[in-house]
Amino acid sequence: MIRRRMLAAMATAVAIALPVSACGSGEEPAANGPVTLSVSVWSLASTPEFQVLFDAFTKANPDITIKPVDILAADYPTKVTTMLASGDQTDVITMKNVIEYARYASRGQLLDITAAAKSDTAKKLGGLDAFKQEGDKYYALPYRQDFWVLYYNKKLLEAAGQAFPTNLTWDQYVELAKKLTTGSGQSKVYGTYHHTWRSVTQAISAAQTGGDQLSGDYKFFADQYRAALALQEAGATLDFGTAVTQKTGYASMFETQKTAMMPMGTWFIAKVLSEKQKGTTNVDWAIAPMPQRPGSSKITTFGSPTAFAVNKNAKHSAAAKKFVEFASGPEGAKALAAIGIVPAYSSDEILKQYFALTGMPTDEMSKKAFTPDKVNLEMPVSDKTSKIDTILNEEHQLIMAKQKSVEDGIKSMETRVKNEVS
């Protein structure tokens, strides 16, 4: 009942706020003079990229100060949805994922910045396509572009007498993981760790088979599920059920050297670098390309960009636009690369700077892993995305926890998407 009341309370709050928002988008004063720009961010203290960008930007624009609006990472999408609905005037809104972005853009809550997205600088932005909306319009510019690679622990591989992974196929990867598994009980070291997210299995198989996760036809998941279950069966990865019930953190699995390999996004690089600097881990690591399907000569992986957008109700939209362009451009990229974040803006210079960071692996394979041939969007964007996402996630749990066979799980994904998503 409380839930229902809360909903209703929000509804009225929004209803009251609507007329306010209507007059909130007034013309801003001339862009000169000191401006305080508000930017919505998540978990500021543990997400250093924001502060780095703010510092670089205010240094370049001394008349603008930035006031971050800090929101807990887990609540971020919900909170921003409510903020925008109530006509909030925060100037810059960070787009944590593309799905939410599409929703805000289609509701007309973001400012059109197509012109900036068509500039020469923007041509070098990885993941920009994900922000293209109906009518070739853009409402956000990506500043970082993460994609998935295979992390490995050099010491554990050496100890097992195995060569460092290069261009593995999935079968070779499974075999390698089995060989790398040692010990038992508390001292067990797993060959690899698959986190509980559905993307670990589903997004990668969509990217590499060309399958479409919105299509309602999911037979292309089958091979990937068989590989994942084979790993689990052999005890070469932490059991899905255990990972869920223990709320296992992927970072700690790798940092405490409980796993020899781990497919994960590039956002983890900055985390490992900073943990090593703090001395909380001494893992000796490098990256390799994600394992591929047999016979493929190119490196295909998946990823998702993170972007800044300008709120339609922004108080200082000119300054906000300036910030968005700065963050996604070369200067922003430089600041981001300096702390191990993968910027969306790519150039040889940035890449060089990135690999020159202390603690970064310097081998050729790591560099190759860092420049994949193709990065597919983790989940295609449409108005049906979030519903399909829920279904695929529920069935993923059932397959991985062995409550359903791969065939049955895929079949019920197909029937559920057909029946429940209209």
Partner 1 sequence: MAQQKWRNTLVGWSFILPNFLGFVIISLVPMIAAFGLSFMEWDSFNAPEWVGLDNFERLLRDESTKIALWNTTLYALGHVPLTMLAALGLALLLNRRLAGLGFFRAAAFFPYITSLVAVAVVWNMLFNPEFGPVNQFLHFIGIDNPPGWTTSTTWAMPAVILTSVWRDMGYYMVLFLAGLQSIPREYYEASKVDGATGWQRFLFVTLPGLRPVTFLVLILLTVQSFKVFDLIVVMTDGGPGRATLVLSQQIYRQGIIEGEFGYASAISFVLFLLVLVLTLIQFWFNNRRERS
Q: How far apart are CA 67 and CA 62, in angstroms?
A: 14
Does 184 bind partner 1 (CB under 8 A)? Our answer is: no
Q: How far apart are CA 91 and CA 23, in angstroms?
A: 16
Does 8 bind partner 1 (CB under 8 A)? Our answer is: yes
Does 25 bind partner 1 (CB under 8 A)? Our answer is: no
Among positions 211-270, residues that touch partner 1 (CB under 8 A) are 239-242, 244-247
Does 330 bind partner 1 (CB under 8 A)? Our answer is: no
Q: How many residues does the chain have?
A: 422
> Could you tell me the smallest distance in angstroms from the CB atom of residue 386 to partner 1?
6
> Could you tell me the smallest distance in angstroms from the CB atom of residue 413 to partner 1?
11
> Could you tell me the smallest distance in angstroms from the CB atom of residue 332 to partner 1?
30
Provide the residue type at 370 as one letter: F
Does 159 bind partner 1 (CB under 8 A)? Our answer is: no
Q: Of these, 36, 65, 78, 215, which contacts partner 1 (CB under 8 A)?
A: 78
The site string for partner 1 over 82-121 (x = CB under 8 A, - otherwise) reads x-xx-----------------x---x-x------------
Task: Tell me which stretch binds partner 1 (CB under 8 A): 135-143, 157-165, 353-361, 397-405.
Answer: 397-405
Nearest C-alpha neighbor of 193 from the set 290, 260, 268, 273: 260
Q: What phi and psi, each to the nearest 5 degrees, are found at residue 404?
A: -145, 150
Q: How far apart are CA 260 and CA 176, in angstroms?
A: 10
> Could you tell me the smallest distance in angstroms from the CB atom of residue 231 to partner 1?
16
Query: What is the four-CA torsion angle of 99, 104, 105, 111, rounded to 10 degrees?
Result: -130
Q: How far apart are CA 257 and CA 255, in angstroms?
A: 5
32 vs 186, which CB is nearer to partner 1? Answer: 186
Q: Quote the longest CA-to-CA distance of the chain.
A: 69
Beta carbons within 8 Å of 234's beta carbon, 6+ residues apart: 174, 177, 178, 181
Q: Of these, 395, 410, 413, 417, which contacts partner 1 (CB under 8 A)?
A: 395
Does 390 bind partner 1 (CB under 8 A)? Our answer is: yes
> Could you tell me the smallest distance in angstroms from the CB atom of residue 82 to partner 1?
8
Provide the residue type at 401 as one letter: A
Q: How far apart are CA 46 and CA 306, in angstroms?
A: 16
Task: Tell me which stretch binds partner 1 (CB under 8 A): 76-84, 166-174, 175-183, 369-377.
Answer: 76-84
Nearest C-alpha neighbor of 251 from the set 290, 281, 288: 281
Q: Which residues bind partner 1 (CB under 8 A)?
A: 1-5, 7-12, 14-15, 78, 81-82, 84-85, 103, 107, 109, 239-242, 244-247, 386-387, 390, 394-395, 397-398, 401, 403-404, 416, 419-420
